[in-house]
Amino acid sequence: MVACGACRGTQFAPFFQAREWTQSGRYLASAQSAISAEPIKLLTEYCRQCGLIRQVPGAEVRLDYTGISRDTAKQLPDYAHRVIASMAELGVGADDLVVEIGANDGTFLRAMREAGYKNLIGVEPSKDLAVRAAGSGFTIMNEYFGRSLASRMVSQYGAPRAIICRHTLEHVPDIQDMTEGMAALLAPQGVAFIEVPDTDWVISELFAHEIWDEHVTYFRSGSLVTLLQNSGLVPLRMERARFRDTRNLLAWSVRAPASADTPPALLDDITTAADLADFQARWDRFAANLRAAVAAAPRPLVAVGAAHIQLNFLNYTGLDGDVDMLVDDDPVKAGHYAPLAFAVPIRTTTQVLETVRAGTVLRTAFPYPGWEDRICSALAPYGVDSIKPYNFK
């Protein structure tokens, strides 16, 4: 048994299992494009000791981020300015060295620079994204981050006063190597800011579509605090922040000697061990209810959105063979085909509004209800029905 990356425990229990037809982010050029004969299994488990959730070791869906070019420019939350302001509140000066781990295309580094920070370095394994970030004038280490790189960075650049790590920790297979690398890289009393999805939200809302192959680990507040403490970082503050239809954990820590005086508020998991144990059964009941509703609905079945959360949802509910069309205006997706149980065409909103005159819209654009409303309102006069999936929980 591979020990828990947060608490080093070895007692695990099944959390959630599902399947998908290909790894996230892949789209097909034509309806005749080959789809895997066997779906990929996504297997997760939770630590009975600290509640950390992870893909089952040895069965992880491994991704090579060096070749991924998906930027996160549109994913900057409205609370980003508060995160940047917190650096000054914690003593980080405009001339202090700040390192961002998982810099992507440089979006957050640019926001830091606009706020007056001058000494900024990024770490980004994607070759394309590293080039794009460097094009904005930043020094970028085009590598994966861990203890080894931390040692070399200290020798080359010195120890930073702050580290930013947003939506990166959940993607790495060795979380301990990453957080211990942060502690080794930071200057004494340096600040580490870490942002990850809040899995308490996923569990309480039954949002299994947020469980996906790119996330190896899923954190609740308690397991994140445990990981930080066992890595040489002392949590100072933790917040929960909403972003669209999700919620994130924001954690500020310092490199300092371990303390037994961690404020109780840092350990307040909202869900319980019983909630983790019951998650799969709750999802299965919901999926069965939704499939029954879809089976009785008029065709064609049009699902809104073709990003990973929509494909996850359709795969995990067993509707991957029922949907006839997807709607998405992203040029990377529109005009292509989604690899579900068969190659499903992806059409733009305009194309759908001009051609669909019967059937049912499945409202799966979860972060964008206004987009769903626009489509459903335009098609309702033609007798096109709609289904809100999570009404069947």
| Confidence at residue 67, expressed as pLDDT on a 0 to 100 scale | 76
How far from 117 is each of 75, 93, 105, 150, 326, CA to CA, in Å?
21, 8, 18, 21, 43
Judge contact between 43 and 17, C-beta under 8 A.
yes
Lowest-confidence region among 70-79, 183-192, 239-248: 70-79
- Round the average pLDDT of the chain to a whole number and report it: 94
Each residue of 313-363: pLDDT tens digit? 999 999 999 999 999 999 999 999 999 999 999 999 999 999 999 999 999
Give the class (CATH, top level) of 296-392: alpha beta
Same fold flag, 57-271 and 296-392:
yes
The whole model's pTM is what?
A: 0.94
Q: Which residues of 289-322 are buried (b: 16+ CB within 10 A; e: fewer)?
A: ebeeebeebeeebbbbbbbbbbbbbbbbbbbbeb
How is residue 15 written in tokens? 């959390």
| Domain 57-271, CATH | 3.40.50.150
User: What gap in Å lies between CA 213 and CA 25, rounded to an integer?
Assistant: 10
Q: Does pLDDT of 301 surpass 60?
A: yes
Whether a cis peptide bond, with omega within 30° of 0, leads into 300 is: yes
Any residues with CB less than 8 A from the CB of 88 and at least 6 apart, and which? none
End-to-end alpha carbon distance in the chain: 34
| Confidence at residue 264, expressed as pLDDT on a 0 to 100 scale | 47
Each residue of 223-282: pLDDT tens digit? 999 999 999 999 999 999 999 999 999 999 998 765 555 554 565 899 999 999 999 999
How is residue 192 written in tokens? 């580490």
Percent of the chain with pLDDT over 70: 97
Q: Does pLDDT of 118 surpass 80?
A: yes
User: What gap in Å lies between CA 234 and CA 373, rounded to an integer?
Assistant: 45
Q: Enumerate the domain spans of the chain.
A: 57-271, 296-392
Question: What average pLDDT does the segment 125-136 reach?
Answer: 96
| Confidence at residue 109, expressed as pLDDT on a 0 to 100 scale | 98
Question: What average pLDDT does the segment 18-31 reach?
Answer: 90
Which residue in the block uniquely carries the two structure tokens 């065709």? 299
How is residue 262 written in tokens? 């961690």
> Residue 68 corresponds to which amino acid?
I
Q: Does pLDDT of 139 surpass 60?
A: yes
Judge contact between 55 and 42, C-beta under 8 A.
yes
- Per-position DSSP letters for 363-393, written without gaps between them: ---TT-HHHHHHHHHHHGGGT-EEE-GGGG-
